[in-house]
Each structure stands twice: as structure tokens, then as C-alpha cells.
Amino acid sequence: MVDVYAKMLQQFVGRYPTRTYRKGEIIIFQGEAPRCTYVIQSGVVKAYNLSIHGDEKPVGFYGANESFPGTWTYYKVPSAIYYYEAFTPECVVYLVQRDEYVSFVRSHPAMALAELDRYVNNSLGLSMQLNALQHSRANEKLMYTLHHLALTHGKVIGEHKREIGLRLTHQDFANLTGLTRETAATELNRLKHNGVINYGKNQPYTVDLNKLQLILNDQYIAELDPEDGVKAESRLV
């Protein structure tokens, strides 16, 4: 299903112009009425809000073949409710006319199903992020956040192991959890020492979900197995 969706989408968006953004460049400002729907050709885009103190609060990450801002594209709001910023060194996006994009999705069942799958996945990620923030202890905030990222942005690299496909810094984890950078770094190093995660300067974060579950001993996390999502997707093809 993913291959069919990607091919259909590329055939459609290929006739639209593209624009390249460098890491840190804002693509859409909060409160701005976009001129088009953006579809990512390559790279990752970060969506975030700012607190009253100016602290960044990430709410999502978008990768290749994903579109944004969804709430504006589907006529739910008149302007962007978040900032959208290039997260990777280079991010290339298609500039697609909104009405044509919506019409394309509505007229192709495979596209509509792919969009539904993407929004369900994003909804799951947001609920898991909210669950992580509700915990008071720093180590629990980080462990639930790691589980959320492994489930929504991870790929299988071994039994119970997921590699997070985002190049995250200690500051990124601090922003995601509301912790200081120093606290986030300390807790992440502790988790690495205990074998729950592994990462390096040029190595992405990998998470051992089995060890993570044993530490948390939480039925909520035990029931959210990424393998179930893979099995469910195969039934939709």
C-alpha cells in the first residue's frame, strides 16, 4: 500500500514547483494563512508552538510524502496553528494548490486510505506525547517520549529494537519533555548505561522496547507494540 501511495502521489505532485529550506528556516509562521499545501519531497519538517516564555514545544515531525498543514489544507482553520520549520540540513517541499490536493485525495481511495493511516498515526503520537508529559519524574517523561518516538518514527532493526529516524539532540528531548537540557542529558545517559537506548555523535537513537517495558512495568506501553501496526497494515493491502 505504501509503494502504491508513494507512486501515485509522486505522479501528482511532480508537476508542481519545489522550494528548498535549510535547517532552522521557518516554512510557515503560526497564524499565517498559507498560500498552498506543502508536500515533502525530502527531509523532515518540525511543527511546534511557543510558550509564553518563548520556549519551543514540538508537536510533531513530518517526513517524505507527508503534507502540511493538515488542519488548514482540509478547511478546519483559516491559518496555521503551529510554526513549521525545516528540521534536517535540507528540506525540499512541493508547493501544491490546496483545492487540487484535496480533490486528488478524495478521488483516489488508496490516497484517502493513506491519509487516514497517517492522521491516525499522528493522533496516536500526540496522545502518547501527552501521556509522557503527565508524568512528574524526569526519567519517566523521557522513557515515555522515547517509546512514542520509537513507535511513530522508528524502524525495526532487531527483535524488540527500533531505530528512531530523527536526528535528535539533548535540547530536542528537553523541548519535547519540558525538562532542562542538562536534566535530559543526564537521564538519557543513564538510560544508555542501562542498555535501554543507544546513541552516539553520528548514530541515531535506538530503543530496546523490551527493556523499556520492564523498567516501566506499564500495561499501557506493553499493549502498544509496533509489530501490531505492521500486521494491521498488511491486512489493509
CATH number where 28 lies: 2.60.120.10
Q: Same domain for 41 and 101?
A: yes
Q: Which of 107, 141, 165 is the last residue of a domain?
A: 107
Q: What is the pLDDT of residue 229?
A: 47
Provide φ and ψ at 100, rounded to 5°. -70, -35
Q: Same domain for 90 and 148?
A: no
Q: Same domain for 189 and 231?
A: yes
Q: Same domain for 136 and 95?
A: no
Cα dihedral sign for 163, 168, 174, 175? Answer: negative
Q: Same domain for 9 and 68?
A: yes
Q: What is the pLDDT of residue 225?
A: 56
Burial class of 17 by CB neighbour count within 10 A (0 to 12, 13 to 18, 19+):
exposed
Strand pairing report for 56-62 and 45-50: antiparallel
Q: Kindly report whether the peptide bond that precedes residue 89 is cis, defined as omega within 30 degrees of 0.
A: no
Query: What's the CATH number where 160 sits?
Result: 1.10.10.10
Q: How far apart are the first and last CA of the chain?
A: 5
Q: Which of 71, 86, 107 is the last residue of a domain?
A: 107
Q: How many structural domains are present in the chain? A: 2
* Per-position pLDDT tens, the chain of length 237: 467 788 899 999 999 999 999 999 999 999 999 999 999 999 999 999 998 888 899 999 999 999 999 999 999 999 999 999 999 999 999 999 999 999 999 999 989 998 998 899 888 888 888 888 888 899 999 999 999 899 889 999 988 899 999 999 999 999 999 999 999 999 999 999 999 999 988 889 999 998 988 888 665 555 555 454 444 444 444
Q: What is the pLDDT of residue 234?
A: 42
Q: What is the pLDDT of residue 130?
A: 87
Instruction: For residue 71, give the C-alpha cell.
Output: 488542519
Contact 182, 163 (CB under 8 A): no
**Residue 96 domain boundaries:** 2-107
Q: What is the pLDDT of residue 237?
A: 42
d(CA 68, CA 85) in angstroms, rounded, equals: 11
Q: Same domain for 126 and 96?
A: no
Strand order from edge to edge, sheet including 18-22: 18-22, 90-96, 37-42, 67-68
Distances (CA, A) of 164 to 97, 112, 123: 32, 26, 18
Q: Same domain for 183 and 231?
A: yes
Q: What is the pLDDT of residue 231?
A: 41
Q: Same domain for 102 and 142?
A: no
Q: Which of 107, 136, 168 is the last residue of a domain?
A: 107
What count of residues does the chain have? Answer: 237
Q: Same domain for 132 and 156?
A: yes
d(CA 71, CA 47) in angstroms, rounded, equals: 12
Q: Same domain for 147 and 226?
A: yes
Q: Same domain for 68 and 121?
A: no
Q: What is the pLDDT of residue 110?
A: 87
- Give which of 65, 165, 43 is closest to 111, Cα–Cα: 65
Q: Same domain for 23 and 91?
A: yes
